[in-house]
Structure 1
Amino acid sequence: MSLDELDTRTTTPLSVSGLAHLPWRSPSAGTGRPAVRDVTEELSYRGLERRAAACAEQFAARGIGRGDVVAIMLPNSVAFLAAMLGAWRVGAAVTPVNPTFTERELRYQLDDSGARLLVTSGAPAVEVETLAPADLARIPDGSIDDPTITPDTLALLVYTSGSTGQPKGVMLDHANLNAMAASLRRHIELGPDDQALLVLPLFHVNSLCVSFLAPISAGGSVSILERFAPGTFLDAVQRYRPTYFSAVPAIFARLAEVPREQIPRLPSLRLAICGAAPASPELLALSEKRFGIPILEGYGLTEATCASACNPLWGERKPGTVGRALPGQQIAILDDEGRLVPPGVRGEVAILSPTVMRGYLGRPDATAEVMRGGWLRTGDIGILDEDAYLTLVDRAKDMIIRGGENLYPKEIEAFLATHPAVLEAAVIGRPDPVYGEVPIADVVLHPGEVVTEDQLRAHCAEGLTKIKVPAEIRIVTDLARNPVGKVDKPAMRRALAAATA
């Protein structure tokens, strides 16, 4: 059976009317209930709408309107969100920019997106009008009307990490964002008393959707951390009393390093979400034990707005899987010819959902390559079990071919993580004159643990076939990561190539 023949009526429909991800259409719209806060200020729903309206007036006065793009290059803050909402109120899209970007990286994103205005601190040498966060308007001059924002209005241009070629701008409209917020809201049962602790960078869809738009769409609130540090995080949980947070495995690994006696009681938390990169079952189990809450591992891509699968809050959470398709979404596994494969057989993961992107900005060929009949071809290799839980095997592009045999780094990483001394592992392929490629691994140990490369190789030999045992294991203090916190395998490959040269 092909994708075209798949009956999509099994997908549970979402109630996504009303664009409730917008604060002025949230269940708490217009009230004095808390909406957002950072270390310097706190705004109610009424106050956030006024601030967004003031920014909208300011942008409109500069000629920004429907169809334009506003770039925001700020750290996590209320100012970031106010500027984004202000742009949306005038019908403009927002492209979030990593604040640590070099001038070259910034200029590329500005040029590719066609941004007409850049909200940022400092004075970058770019050919775009800039506006400092301190100069953002705070009080509107006129009345605050409900702006006309249609579901198909472009909302975000989020740039991919660029692990292959130049970064591409993923076009997400308000229908995508609203569907994502509704899917998350239903899955983790968000309500007006929920509060997210936002710890991931706002230039990433995980932070924007899971920690801002989803709670806002439920009438809840958001507490913002500018950046993550274990002590700052634990202090914020005690002070703000959030009910959940979303983080990447690197954050859970850092928290796992905190001595047990230094972790306070955190009774307000009811769950945490782990995504954006694979996490070992051992790390998740340790984190659940430390915090005493369920940690739901999920999976998604920027091209599908954020999340497409997640382990359940209630019911069986299967370690090593990323759960089942989220409400309103559907996941299929395909072979090399694009045909559906039965449960238990690995293949490419495909997603059908109202959260699937409009396409890549200005790249129709790249869009056609991953989009087919509304389905998103992810490039990820996975398996669906009989209960429709998804296990990710690896990225197709990360696969190692050793002497004609396909090796999946995630399998090797997962087995390395079963050693009691290992906290994290990352595996890549190294060119080999005989086999073409052989696997090598970087390993981070738990604090205070000591183990040798030979001991780790012996451990691998107990559970992996000979060709999967890493030819080299390097014990490191941290893994190479991109700005979002994902393990940066392209950087690992570049460093390996430089060292070899």
Structure 2
Amino acid sequence: MHFAALPDLRAQRAPEDPCVGDDAVELTNAQFLTRVVQAARVLREHGVGPGDVVGVILPNGVEFVVALFAAWRLGASVTPINPRLTEAETGYQIADSGAVVVITPEPAPFAGSLPAAALRDDRSGEPVAPSTDPQSLALIIYTSGSTGRSKGVLLDHANVSAMGRMLVEVTDMDDTDHSLLILPLFHINGIMVSLLMPLLGGARVTVTGRFQVDTFFDYVERVGPTFFSAVPTMFMMLAELPEDVRPDCSSIRFSISGGAPLPPALIERFERRYDIPIHEAYGMSESTCVVTVTPLSGPRKPGAVGLPLPGVEVAVVGLDGRTAAAGETGEVVLRGPNVMRGYLGRPEETSLAVQDGWLHTGDVGRIDEDGYLVLVDRIKDMIIRGGVNIYPKEIETVLGEHPDVFEAAVVGAADTRLGEVPVAFVVLRPDSALTTERLLDHCGGSLAKYKHPVDFHVVDALPRNHVGKIDKPALRARLGRVGADR
């Protein structure tokens, strides 16, 4: 089913049932349809039509959701823009995407700027029927740009609809469910898993503002969600709340973690404390979000990121292009109806990423005997020490198992003799007196000596990019500065 028609379908089936809300407003299905149609009329009056791009620079809230569906109703696509970007970064995305209208919280100095309040127009007008071409573009999601200028990932409505259907199937989503949306809506995870999937499955959505660890469980107890999706950092922060925080989480039947693998020790600690199952998912913008997920019913294997979604093929290939056998390590590739159309205006990069229908992820992994995907690391993060491959994730997992370590990141540092050597950045728990010598001893019990970090930097926090992932380029740059200072 085309998402542009979803507001109409929900309003026809259950007009008075709750649809989407935030701290300021709660909309039924009928009210949501009315708001979407009103907003679509306003966008049409501002020249938006089929094939156009609408930029949305809004914080999490109902207004974002209305703008998204209003643009789709007209056959336009949406490029969500992180409100925290600088003016130059925002200007780049607007220009690169070709956005004709940019919806903002207030009037802004961008061509085509339209305040979100202008979308709330209750004047009567000609009805706007939903445009339902499955090949029309739905989203232009910009990557984090850690290796240069951000790239626009082109996702059409066939991609988005397929992903929605697959997620509904694997989560058993229905009209008794309630999504608590805590991830940013400028990212594909927030849009796809926390918003579109539940709406397609008949569930309701409560949108929070920016995630605050101290108020998260207040939301849980107040609105009674049945699931939420989060990134590892959020689960870490929730697991570290004071021991006297004992919220009622009985409404939640599952949670989903994406963005990076979770340390098994953290999963065990979080689940034991809150009795909320964590199901790990793996994916990327180029795959319309999810590729694999730990099944809700079935084995959950610590260290694995689950089974492929129905309709998605996942394989591991070696450097020679040969498909690896079970247990062998190589690059993770995938194909299915969720693979992106391509990168906006970058045909050469598109052809490198998608070859013969297979999306090359740049991730190193293996598939076990039961078909579960185990991620080893990013290819670009791999450290080659004296000709031997070292995967930082393996070292990070071992460091994270020490009770005094909150989190850790490992990157390669240049070495004149060996080429590269591993260096660890570690965040310790409060009041810890852990020394680097004891950390090295801890590594000795689980890691071969050539994998041991040659240096440890104890830091207050690890740098992160705008989607919450550890910013390893920044850590590598810091090592360069440290070397220069020496």
Give the structure-2-normalised TM-score.
0.96
Does the aligned pair in 1 maintain the 2:364–2:375 contact within 8 Å? yes
**Residue in 1 aligned with 2:77?**
93
Confirm whether residue 44 of structure 1 aligns to residue 28 of structure 2.
yes
Confirm whether residue 32 of structure 1 aligns to residue 19 of structure 2.
no
* CA distance in structure 2 between the aligned counterparts of 1:85 and 1:343, rounded to whole angstroms: 43
Q: Deviation of residue 391 (structure 1)?
A: 0.6
Q: Deviation of residue 382 (structure 1)?
A: 0.3
| Letter in structure 2 aligned against 1:31 | P
Unaligned runs of 5+ in 1: 1-16
Confirm whether residue 69 of structure 1 aligns to residue 46 of structure 2.
no
**Residue in 2 aligned with 1:135?**
118
Does the aligned pair in 1 maintain the 2:4–2:131 contact within 8 Å? no
Deviations 1:205-246 (Å, cap 9, x if unpaired)? 000000000000011111111111112111000001000000
- Name the SS for the 1:392 alignment partner: strand
Confirm whether residue 476 of structure 1 aligns to residue 447 of structure 2.
no
**Of 139-148 and 356-365, the range deviating more from structure 2:** 139-148
* CA distance in structure 1 between the aligned counterparts of 2:44 and 2:271, rounded to whole angstroms: 48
| Letter in structure 1 aligned against 2:234 | I
Does the aligned pair in 1 maintain the 2:271–2:277 contact within 8 Å? yes
Deviations 1:329-355 (Å, cap 9, x if unpaired)? 110001112221100000010111111
The verdict on how the C-alpha distance between 1:79 and 1:60 changes in structure 2, with shifts beyond 3 A counting, is same
**Residue in 2 aligned with 1:288?**
271
Q: Deviation of residue 142 (structure 1)?
A: 2.8
The verdict on how the C-alpha distance between 1:337 and 1:74 changes in structure 2, with shifts beyond 3 A counting, is same
- Name the SS for the 2:290 alignment partner: coil
**Residue in 1 aligned with 2:226?**
243
Deviations 1:423-477 (Å, cap 9, x if unpaired)? 2111111111221111111112234433111111111122111111111112222
Confirm whether residue 105 of structure 1 aligns to residue 89 of structure 2.
yes
* CA distance in structure 1 between the aligned counterparts of 2:414 and 2:238, rounded to whole angstroms: 35
* CA distance in structure 1 between the aligned counterparts of 2:432 and 2:254, rounded to whole angstroms: 29
Q: Deviation of residue 138 (structure 1)?
A: 4.2
**Residue in 2 aligned with 1:384?**
367
The verdict on how the C-alpha distance between 1:392 and 1:312 changes in structure 2, with shifts beyond 3 A counting, is same
Q: For 1:405, which of 388, 402, 410 is the aligned residue? A: 388
* Sequence identity (%): 46
Q: For 2:37, which of 40, 48, 53 is the aligned residue? A: 53
Q: For 2:311, which of 325, 328, 338 is the aligned residue? A: 328
Confirm whether residue 313 of structure 1 aligns to residue 296 of structure 2.
yes
Q: Deviation of residue 254 (structure 1)?
A: 0.5
Q: For 2:183, which of 173, 185, 200 is the aligned residue? A: 200
* CA distance in structure 1 between the aligned counterparts of 2:94 and 2:2, rounded to whole angstroms: 31
Does the aligned pair in 1 maintain the 2:40–2:128 contact within 8 Å? no
Q: For 1:462, which of 445, 468, 472 is the aligned residue? A: 445
Confirm whether residue 301 of structure 1 aligns to residue 284 of structure 2.
yes
| Letter in structure 2 aligned against 1:463 | S
Q: For 2:62, which of 78, 81, 89 is the aligned residue? A: 78
- Name the SS for the 1:423 alignment partner: strand
Unaligned runs of 5+ in 2: none
The verdict on how the C-alpha distance between 1:383 and 1:26 changes in structure 2, with shifts beyond 3 A counting, is farther
* CA distance in structure 1 between the aligned counterparts of 2:271 and 2:18, rounded to whole angstroms: 29
The verdict on how the C-alpha distance between 1:474 and 1:129 changes in structure 2, with shifts beyond 3 A counting, is same
The verdict on how the C-alpha distance between 1:133 and 1:250 changes in structure 2, with shifts beyond 3 A counting, is same
* CA distance in structure 1 between the aligned counterparts of 2:406 and 2:127, rounded to whole angstroms: 52
* CA distance in structure 2 between the aligned counterparts of 1:57 and 1:85, rounded to whole angstroms: 12
* CA distance in structure 2 between the aligned counterparts of 1:61 and 1:156, rounded to whole angstroms: 22
Q: For 2:163, which of 177, 180, 197 is the aligned residue? A: 180
* CA distance in structure 2 between the aligned counterparts of 1:259 and 1:20, rounded to whole angstroms: 44
Does the aligned pair in 2 maintain the 1:21–1:177 contact within 8 Å? no
Confirm whether residue 265 of structure 1 aligns to residue 219 of structure 2.
no
**Of 256-265 and 210-219, the range deviating more from structure 2:** 256-265
- Name the SS for the 1:300 alignment partner: strand
| Letter in structure 2 aligned against 1:358 | R
**Residue in 2 aligned with 1:158?**
141
Give the structure-1-normalised TM-score.
0.94
Does the aligned pair in 1 maintain the 2:2–2:132 contact within 8 Å? no
**Residue in 2 aligned with 1:422?**
405
**Residue in 2 aligned with 1:349?**
332
The verdict on how the C-alpha distance between 1:142 and 1:125 changes in structure 2, with shifts beyond 3 A counting, is closer
* CA distance in structure 2 between the aligned counterparts of 1:217 and 1:260, rounded to whole angstroms: 37
- Name the SS for the 2:362 alignment partner: strand
Does the aligned pair in 1 maintain the 2:366–2:376 contact within 8 Å? yes
* CA distance in structure 1 between the aligned counterparts of 2:81 and 2:167, rounded to whole angstroms: 24
* CA distance in structure 1 between the aligned counterparts of 2:33 and 2:127, rounded to whole angstroms: 8
Does the aligned pair in 2 maintain the 1:29–1:219 contact within 8 Å? no
The verdict on how the C-alpha distance between 1:99 and 1:68 changes in structure 2, with shifts beyond 3 A counting, is same
| Letter in structure 1 aligned against 2:345 | G
